Amino acid sequence: MALLLFSLLAAPAAAQQHPAALTLPEVIALALDQSAVARQAQTTRDQGYWQWRTYQATYRPQLGVQGTLPGFSRVITPVVQPDGTTDFRAVRINNSNLALTLSQNLGLTGGQVVVASEVQRFDDFNGRLRRYNNQPLALGLTQPIGRFNELRWNRRLEPLRYQESQRQYVEEREIIMQRITELYFDVVQQQVNAEVAGQNVQANEELLRIGQERYRLGRLSQSDLLRLELNLLTARQAVAQSQLDAQDAALRLQRYTGLRPADAPLAVPEAAPAPPVLPATALDQARQNRAAVLAFRRRLLEAEREVALARGTTGFQATLTANLGYVNQASNLWETYAALQNQQQVRLTFALPVVDWGRQKSILKTAELTRRQVQADVAQEEAAFEADVQVQAAQLGTLARQLALAARADTLARRRYDIAQATYKVGRISLTDLTLALGEKDQARRAYIQALRAAWVGHYRLRALTLYDFERQQPLTE
């Protein structure tokens, strides 16, 4: 990129019409397609999508097979005898099992329902014994009581996280576009500096030639001749410095966007779009589209979740487990299906702290204070968020007017310099007046590029703050 910029700097006028020159939209499109920051934003979005898929799968039936095949064991193991003594016996057994389970989480209560079928086979090779234990059908329920219901809170939080990740992706792309615009104009600014410096070198060379002729004729003082030589040296120094600055700016743009060196030079953009935007309208769109709005809600819910977690992990806690089904055992697998027997199991386990020296109260109080702090932080950030959107929308029209004024000043300054240069050549104004006109021309050109940069950056910044395209009147999230 830097080598092509050098060729651009050597012929600035031709470079503006060079067919290979890239425009700002083209650079943005290329960077969004191939830059590392764009790929990182896409990866983050994809991670949010797969986390959402994981959440959805949690609420769907889970079918699984589990077992132990084989469970062979050949060891010497201690065996308690009827008289209470221990004898060591050599055993050679196989204890295998295979189970098919279908489970479903209950988001409303935080419990789980399981339907299972299991068969177990036991072989005693030393005793030539084989037994089957078959449970063709079993229905089980596990229900926490007084515990934290993570499934219920995930149902409230995960949709927000997913929507936030998708909106965040769009917002990050807009922020990337804003940053590319800033880097793009860094290069353009140096191109313009180089163009101005190159034109000044040519003009000062011509003025020095005329001044030397006048000095030989005694119509120019030595002081003015030296001033002309100094102006030429200053212009040449400006060319060298602008080349270095252009190289640095081009490398920064290249590193951020991933553009190849052949992607330069860059064209000076037209004026940025400046549709009329009311601050209230911009704020409405920001509230509808921005990921930050969802993030505020998510953070408040997470703070509430921590309070519920503190309550659900302290105090009274219990778990109800119930199972019913059919079971039978026999020496032959098919015989286990005859004369099946009913099987029921009900169990309630609980824990209740009696004396905890204020532990439960401390945990709950900490969570509540954290929630209060989060609420205060969110309120403050929300106010700052609204102020940023409204200020940026209000500034958009001002930036457009400043750009129009800077463009007019640039045109007038160039015309004034052309007139001053022609007037100096016929000896009707002083060198000081010409130098002032030259400085005003250069300053006006740089001011125009800076105003153009501010207008384009403001355009993309408002898009990033609202996720809305006011030029096409449509949300960017679509």
Taking the C-alpha atoms of residue 159 and residue 176, their distance in angstroms, rounded to an integer, is: 26
pLDDT for residue 163: 94
- Greater confidence, 203 or 230? 230
Looking at the DSSP bridge assignments, the partners of residue 117 are 100
pLDDT band per the 50, 70, 90 thresholds, residue 69: confident
State pLDDT tens for residues 404-439: 999 999 999 989 988 988 887 777 877 778 778 888
Q: Say if residues 23 and 181 touch (Cβ distance below 8 Å).
A: no
The whole-number average pLDDT for the span 376-383 is 96
Which is nearest to 453 in space by CA: 182, 256, 191, 266?
182
Q: What 3-state DSSP class applies to 117?
A: strand
Residue 155 pLDDT greater than 60, yes or no: yes
The Cβ of residue 272 has, within 10 Å, a number of other Cβ atoms equal to: 22
Residue 117 pLDDT greater than 90, yes or no: yes
Domain ranges of the chain: 2-55+153-305+364-475, 61-106+111-147+317-352
Cα separation values, 222 from 85, 205, 208, Å: 125, 17, 12
pLDDT for residue 4: 37
Specify the CATH number for 2-55+153-305+364-475; select among 3.30.470.20, 1.20.1600.10, 3.40.1710.10, 3.40.50.880: 1.20.1600.10
- pTM for this one? 0.79
Q: Say if residues 52 and 46 touch (Cβ distance below 8 Å).
A: no
Looking at the DSSP bridge assignments, the partners of residue 87 are 79
Q: Say if residues 87 and 78 touch (Cβ distance below 8 Å).
A: yes
The whole-number average pLDDT for the span 68-73 is 89
pLDDT band per the 50, 70, 90 thresholds, residue 235: confident
How would DSSP label each residue in 232-266?
A: HHHHHHHHHHHHHHHHHHHHHHHHHH---GGG--B
